């Protein structure tokens, strides 16, 4: 069974031209079937502010009103997605940019919350694994933007970490899937600002203890919850770490490896 790497690149790397270029060169050198899932960094927020579209975050998630949806679609599925594709092509990787709406790659529904209206935010219903597999089998590297649709003509803004997890889970029927969350930190840290406090491995029991001790900072908890959900659904391995160290993350010599034991 072939190995597929599903790699999520964090927003802060996308905001840094030099770091993004270095990461994409490393990504292009990965000799395996691979999917890159990206967010939008701060560009969508900057553009929205320039267009006088107020931005609101609740629980760390963007409220996606109708005007904001236009901006994030243009930025995520347009400029950022195609810029990444062009750079990968230049690095010798035959890449194709997709959003969840393309080929019904990722179907979603508008988020329902008892007290918060997240606007046009999407929660995932299904992944078109047969489409993704057909493309991967042609040695096409996929670059996935976090825009989905609801099959009723409505686009939806969907969390990129969750898309990466759902792609990994869906493809684990056909491949040995390694899910990598790469961002600006060295991995899961006991102290958010101390890079030397890296936790090299986390299992379910140690994760429970870390949460009880308050040793995992809030922004990391959704990533870890996603990691364990992926492992419980057939994904081989989940790694969290610094984007600049991509090949060391793949080798398991750096970052935090999440294990199910």
pLDDT in tens, 130-144: 999 999 999 999 999
Is residue 7 within 8 Å of 34, Cβ to Cβ?
yes
- For residue 60, pLDDT over 70 is answered with no
Q: pLDDT at residue 217 above 80?
A: no
φ, ψ for residue 92 (rounded to 5)? 90, 15
Confidence band for 51, pLDDT divided at 50, 70 and 90: very high
The model's confidence at residue 223, banded by pLDDT at 50, 70 and 90, is confident
Q: Extract the tokens encoding 160.
A: 């990129």
Q: What is the pTM of this model?
A: 0.94
Percent of the chain with pLDDT over 90: 76
What is the per-residue pLDDT across 81-122, written as a single tens digit (0 to 9) for each? 999 999 999 999 999 999 999 999 999 999 999 999 999 999
Q: Which two tokens stand for residue 196?
A: 């030397």
Q: Enumerate domains of the chain plus CATH numbers.
A: 3-258 (3.40.1160.10)
Rounded to an integer, what distance in angstroms lies between the CA atom of residue 77 and that of residue 164? 15
For residue 121, what pLDDT is reported? 95
pLDDT at 192 over 80: no
Enclosing H/E stretch for 149: strand 147-149
């Amino acid at each position: 069974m072939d190995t597929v790497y599903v790699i999520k690149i964090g927003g802060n790397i996308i905001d840094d031209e030099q770091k993004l270029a270095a990461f994409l060169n490393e990504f292009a050198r990965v000799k395996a079937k691979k999917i890159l899932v990206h967010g939008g960094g701060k560009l969508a927020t900057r553009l929205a502010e320039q267009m006088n579209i107020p931005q609101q975050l609740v629980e760390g998630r963007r409220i996606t009103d109708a005007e904001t949806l236009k901006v994030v679609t243009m930025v995520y599925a347009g400029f950022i997605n195609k810029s990444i594709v062009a750079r990968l092509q230049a690095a010798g990787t035959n890449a194709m940019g997709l959003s969840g709406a393309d080929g019904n790659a990722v179907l979603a529904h508008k988020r329902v919350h008892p007290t918060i209206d997240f606007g046009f935010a999407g929660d995932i219903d299904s992944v078109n694994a047969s489409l993704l597999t057909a493309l991967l089998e042609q040695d096409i590297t996929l670059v996935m933007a976090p825009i989905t649709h609801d099959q009723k003509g409505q686009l939806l803004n969907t969390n990129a970490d969750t898309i990466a997890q759902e792609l990994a889970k869906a493809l684990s029927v056909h491949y040995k899937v390694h899910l990598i969350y790469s961002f600006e930190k060295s991995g899961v840290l006991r102290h958010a600002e101390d890079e030397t406090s890296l936790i090299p491995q986390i299992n379910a029991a140690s994760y429970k203890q870390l949460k009880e001790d308050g040793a995992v900072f809030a922004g990391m908890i959704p990533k870890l919850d996603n990691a364990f959900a992926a492992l419980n659904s057939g994904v081989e391995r989940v790694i969290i770490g610094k984007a600049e160290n991509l090949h060391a993350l793949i080798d398991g010599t750096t970052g935090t490896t999440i294990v199910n034991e």
